[in-house]
Chains A and B, each alone.
Chain A
Amino acid sequence: MNRYTKKTFVLEIFGILLAIVFLIPFYFVIINSLKSFAEILIDGAAWPKEFLFSNYLKVWEIINFPRAFWNSLIITVLSNIGLVVISSMAAWKLVRTPSKLSKIIFIFFIAAMVIPFQTVMIPLMKIGGILNLTNSIPGLVIMYFGFGVPLSLFLYHGFVKTVPIEIEESARIDGCSQFGVFWRIVFPLLKPITVTVVILNTLWIWNDYLLPLLVLQEKELRTIPLATSSFFAQYTKQWDMGLAALMLGITPVIIFFLFLQKHIIKGIASGSIK
């Protein structure tokens, strides 16, 4: 249907040039993160005279990168597990119990997607104080449960409708409890949408800045975005170390993306109703 013509070749060249333009910012960050401060000031575009890895070593210590990485990881993993468990269970039950109540609850979740984070954040900090959720990683994870549940539940709700009910019914007759039916039979069938839910929530929670900023004050609890921003606040315009900090900050998520890009792009496209 589509032959490779001269016109396609021209388009191809154009596409590659555009891609290079898209990548230029990364080129600047990488080469300059390996230079001394003086060398950056002389010429920001030039190739480094020699590769200086000392910037990375210094930043690694200053922002305590292993700690920040671990905090980001544990927050993302725990929030994902919780969101998958609570929203898949709720979505399944809501679909399988067709009643007015189920419908109202579902609409209640969806309607709240309209509420922007900024409208909730100020009183939430008061509630967080009362319930002892502030300055603690489990507390932040619980908040992510609350913020993530509408979209996750919405995606599961749509998917459960496509799962045939017959398998569940026969398992019920064989005496399986509802929990048994759900975890042993239904949940494995939900795998494709679970992948989408986990990818969307991971990209959101890993990169999130404002909620951790409000909840986590202690230095030891900082996530990667928090550690990077407090580094920039302290070392303004010290680009040699600043760029190394940025490289450290973006590398994990870029590796995550390159490994799972097919799933991620598919998940992003199907989750775009948000």
Chain B
Amino acid sequence: MNTQLETKSQTNKAIKSVSKRNKTIKNILTYAAFVGPALLFFIVIQIIPFFMGVYYSFTSWNGVSSTAEWVGLANYIKIFKNDPGFVNSFLFTTKFMFAAVIISNFIGFGLALLLNAALKSRNLLRTVFFIPNVIGGLLLGFIWQFIFVKGFASIGKMTDLAFFKLPWLGDENTAFWGIVIVFAWQISGYMMVIYIAALQGVDQNLLEAAKIDGASNWTLLTKIIIPLILPAFTICIFLTISMAFKIFDINISLTNGGPFNSTQSVAINIYQEAFQYNRYGLGTAKSILFFIVVAIFTTVQVLATKKREVEA
């Protein structure tokens, strides 16, 4: 076997020295054949449109005419000075993001702690809490539209609780919380899965030792468990930030931005600007601003995670 290998590698060497050039060309071609398709689709579908978007954001392109007139910063100035709709959608989205991130992480972490106990129904419960996450946001929004409009009304009749008698989707304030509830219902199970994985990595001996030293459950949680699984918090918080900030599907099927555009997310605002009012130039300018904000969040996330990794 060994001698066979040796002779083979010797012949290989001989061939190499004879046609080293051919080999390099062949290597380049194989490299291109393996990496090329992925790169091609990626560039055509994401990168070229991205740079076109940057260009169009300085034009008055309407999507139909073949020429797009250069207008400089006019679109951006218009957005900041003269577009209360966009500013409102930005405020709504930011407010929504804060509420959604806090609530869905709170519930997700709570569920993870609960399922980390030696419950008999643990696997079943995990499945149940995760189910909403596999259904798309569009269908979820429609389901909850029914729950808020008809379901809550009938529960309100039965129980006489004021909570269920609110005009949920018909009022600006409650419509906001309605979207938060649906988002949390969808995402908490997802966060739970990440937190469970982190909790299972916590060294049990450490907890036992602390218990023997007389630490209360609360001390265990705040002084040992949470500091140990901080990386999971970073992941979950930034995942939810990014999902909440880009919210579209749930929003469009649950409230469609209403009442009176009070719950219109930035993503919906951009969509309508471009595809309903055909102001593509203005729409791309908004989408570039949207990109900048998302990029800042994501970069902070990567930096924060990196820093934690060094510490750990």
Contact = CB atoms under 8 A, between A and B. Distances in A.
Given A22-B132, A145-B45, A208-B136, A239 B146 contact: yes
Interface string B38-56: 1101101111111011001
B294 interface: yes
Contacts of B34: 89-90, 92-93, 178, 182
A43 interface: yes
Contact of B193 (A3, A149, A229, A269): A269
Contacts of B52: 123, 126-127
A19 B193 contact: no
B53 A253 contact: no
Given A2-B117, A32-B150, A150-B42, A122 B56 contact: yes
B35 to A, nearest CB: 5
A112 interface: yes
Contact of A122 (B53, B111, B129): B53
Given A15-B119, A109-B42, A272-B194, A254 B271 contact: no
B73 interface: no
B131 A118 contact: no
Contacts of B150: 28, 32, 40, 44, 239
A150 B39 CA distance: 10
B235 interface: yes
Given A122-B53, A145-B45, A94 B246 contact: no
A268 interface: yes
A242 B287 CA distance: 33
Contacts of B139: 207, 225, 228, 246, 249-250
A134 B115 CA distance: 46
A211 to B, nearest CB: 10
A136 interface: no
Contacts of B119: 8, 11-12, 15
Interface residues of B, number: 92
B71 to A, nearest CB: 16
**Contact size class for A?**
35 or more
A146 B41 contact: yes
Given A114-B295, A254-B134, A90 B35 contact: yes
Interface string A19-40: 1001111101100100000001
B290 to A, nearest CB: 6
B37 interface: yes
B284 A246 contact: no
Contacts of B76: none
B42 A173 contact: no
Contacts of B151: 24-25, 28, 44-45
B209 interface: no
Contact of A19 (B8, B9, B128): B128
A261 interface: yes
A93 B35 contact: yes
- Secondary structure type dominating chain B contacts: helix
A94 B35 contact: yes
Interface string A106-120: 000100111111111
Interface in A123-160: 123-127, 131, 142-143, 145-147, 149-150, 153
B52 to A, nearest CB: 4
Contacts of A131: 44
Interface centre among B158, B239, B274 (most CB of A within 10 A): B274
Contacts of A116: 246, 267, 287, 290-291, 294
A165 interface: no
Contacts of B248: 118, 209-210
A1 B205 CA distance: 10
Contacts of B35: 89-90, 93-94, 105
A187 interface: no
B146 A28 contact: yes
Nearest to A7: B117
Contact of A261 (B111, B127, B197): B127
B172 interface: no
Contacts of B157: 43
A53 interface: no
Contacts of A228: 138-139, 142
Contacts of B5: 173
7 contacts: A4-B118, A93-B30, A122-B287, A207-B135, A210-B271, A246-B139, A257-B130
Closest 3 CB pairs of A and B: A146-B45, A207-B136, A93-B34
Interface of A: 1-4, 8, 11-12, 14-16, 18-19, 22-26, 28-29, 32, 40, 43-46, 85-87, 89-90, 92-94, 97, 105, 109, 112-127, 131, 142-143, 145-147, 149-150, 153, 173, 178, 182, 203, 206-210, 214, 225, 228-229, 232, 239, 242-243, 246, 249-250, 253-254, 256-258, 261, 264-265, 268-269, 272-274
